[in-house]
Amino acid sequence: MKLSIVIVNYNVKYFLEQCLISVGRAIKNIPAEVFVVDNASSDGSVEVLREKFGWVTLIANTDNGGFSKANNQAMRIATGEYVLLLNPDTVVAEDTFEKCIAFMDKHPDAGALGVHMVDGKGNFLPESKRGLPTPSVAFYKTFGLAAFFPKSKTFGKYHLGFLPEKETNEVDILSGAYMFMRKKALDEIGLLDETFFMYGEDVDLSYRVIKGGYKNYYFADTSIIHYKGESTKKGSLNYVKVFYNAMIIFAKKHFSGNQSGLYSLLINFAIVFRGLLTLVAGVFASSYLFVVDALLSFGGIALITNYWSGMIKYTEDYYPAMFLLGVVPMYILIWITTTYFSGGYDKPFRIANILRGIMLGTVAIAVVYAFLPNEWRFSRAIILLGAVWTALEMLLTRTLYHLIRNQSLAVESHEETHSMVVGNATEMKRAETILRALGNNSDIIENPSLADTKKQAAIYGINEIIFCADGLSYKEVIQQIINTGKRVDYKILNKGMDALIGSNSKNTAGDLYVAEKSYALFKSENLRTKRLQDVIASLVLIILLPLSLILVKNVGKHVANIFAVLIGKKTWVGFTNVKNLKQFPHAKPSVLHPSIATTGIAFTEEDLSAIELNYARHYSAANDLSLLVRNYRKLGQ
């Protein structure tokens, strides 16, 4: 056996499927074996492997013991002269393995090699080649000097930015996403250190290859796509903690006492420093518009209140401090909440959604106002003027957003998608069908020739290209993505799959464009509406519990259902079919099934699954409410 390929999978079914299709092409002329170690995935990965990839040796774990342990399971039984550790969120070219084997055969001093990796937009991934993370190198990386001076031989050692991207060189550290190793070297230095749960194990193994008398090479003569860690979100606090703790383990293992102590101190400081940066960046990225709206709304209403006191009421202290510091923030909270649920924060922004949200919030405030005692009714005028100001403020911030981002003053303007589909006639038609189902109503250009991709994209102003992999070479697809550049979004449609796989940003993991997005239930505004309806229904049912003691058959289960829905573990109406729940990540187990509206018919499991899909395709909040009211007695099932 010439090559053993080991892939560890955890809940990335679609990416794994695409990866294996590309691997199948790449081993066509090589005596090879492929292992997939599944770490207790819950997304149906194992079922897909058994159904579609009988030529793969599957090791299905019942728990997630970590990346190192899973790789070692397969490496212990691998028989190849070379062993490749490969991430499931990768796409390899047809000749990638052949070129790697030829290089390793020609360089007996090579213990391991990595390759030229790009993300889904064709951007080079600097982790393709790295230097040893000594204390000084780690310091430069942690505090941004490596980012400011990437090509410096002093500050740029972490990613070896001074070494040309397109040139093969000896390096210190390789990426675990693609680590092509000599089995003889592995037998001498040992397998992955299972102390590392995730991250750091590739650094440790690379360093042990060098200490074992071999060399690590960055091999630039072949390129692969790596969608940058779909299994782990790299912007999370957990990532910061796990990654830097792995570096501490590495330091204690390989550095001397004083050096190890200094490194550990530095890394612990880095965990706090980078953790705070990540936390601040995460909060800002997810809520900055809410904060801006709240501050500007409050500032405007404060000025209105001051003007109204002095110029209309002729009393500077007409409104007590509690009005401005307590009541006004509540008004603002209501307006922002109703605007959010009206879709006023969805992009592209819609003026109608913003105005509807402010109007609903104002009505809610007015209803509550009517029931308050006189001493709490401060001013209807401030409510109305505050609503007008908040609406204007929201329109102003959205206008500035578009001016900065799109050089346009039009609030509702957004870049229209102009798509081009590349491939054979049958697959191009299938790709068009999927795009239409996902809401793309613009003209779609068909292009059967890969050679003209860049030119055609320029001629027609294309900003999205879908490559139909059946009949195309992955090598050519990868090269076209690199050549055409990052101005275009790229997706790949594989034969037998209904998912378009790509990545619209070098800073994000892979994106999935699957049938889920063509169902009304899974549109963002309907998901919000359903969640709000679930919460309100649960609160009402808590109030009605005395009635439930008489009407509902299993009160204990009914109460459990109420709290399960409140915390988001269940929904009142929806899916129960396991296959559908795995296929649609946004779906939650339900208390009531849509089929409950039909009586006197014996449905099979397939029938019930079809009913669920039809319910999702034509979702209606009114229908959910009707099912809840009519089946009140069954809410304890």
Whether 237 shows a pLDDT value over 60: the answer reads no
pLDDT in tens, 133-147: 776 776 777 667 777
Burial level of 602, CB count in 10 A (0-12/13-18/19+)?
exposed
Burial level of 7, CB count in 10 A (0-12/13-18/19+)?
buried
CATH number of 3-229: 3.90.550.10
pLDDT of residue 508: 44
pLDDT in tens, 68-87: 899 999 999 999 999 999 99
pLDDT in tens, 27-70: 999 999 999 999 988 888 899 999 999 999 999 999 888 888 99
d(CA 58, CA 49): 8
Closest listed residue to residue 571, CA positions, set 609, 612, 519: 612
d(CA 595, CA 615): 9
**Least reliable range by pLDDT among 271-275, 303-307, 332-336, 422-426:** 271-275
Domain range annotation of the chain: 3-229, 285-406, 419-437+444-514, 520-634
pLDDT in tens, 218-229: 999 999 999 874
Closest listed residue to residue 360, CA positions, set 349, 350, 372, 368: 368
DSSP letter string, 119-163: -TTS-B-GGGSB----HHHHHHHHTTHHHHSTT-TTT-TTTTTTS
Sheet of 464-468, strands arranged across = 444-447, 419-422, 464-468, 489-493, 500-502, 511-513
pLDDT of residue 507: 43
Closest listed residue to residue 275, CA positions, set 126, 157, 142, 156: 142
Mean pLDDT estimate for the chain: 83
E-strand ranges in 397-480 read: 419-422, 444-447, 464-468
* Residue 592 φ/ψ, nearest 5 degrees: -105, 140
Which residues, 6 or more positions from 447, have their beta carbon under 8 angstroms from its beta carbon?
Answer: 420, 421, 422, 453, 456
For the packed helices 135-142 and 257-307, what is the interaxial angle rounded to 10 degrees?
10
Q: Tell me if 575 sits within 8 A of 588, measured CB to CB.
A: yes
Per-residue burial over 193-219, b = 16 or more CB atoms within 10 Å of its CB, e = otherwise = beebbbbbbbbbbbbbbbeeebbbbbb
More confident residue, 191 or 243: 191
Task: Give the C-alpha distances (Å, rounded to integers) separating 311 from 301, 315, 551.
Answer: 15, 8, 59
What is the average per-residue pLDDT within 291-302? 91
Whether 232 shows a pLDDT value over 60: the answer reads no
In this prediction the pTM is: 0.70
pLDDT in tens, 154-178: 887 778 888 999 999 999 989 989 9
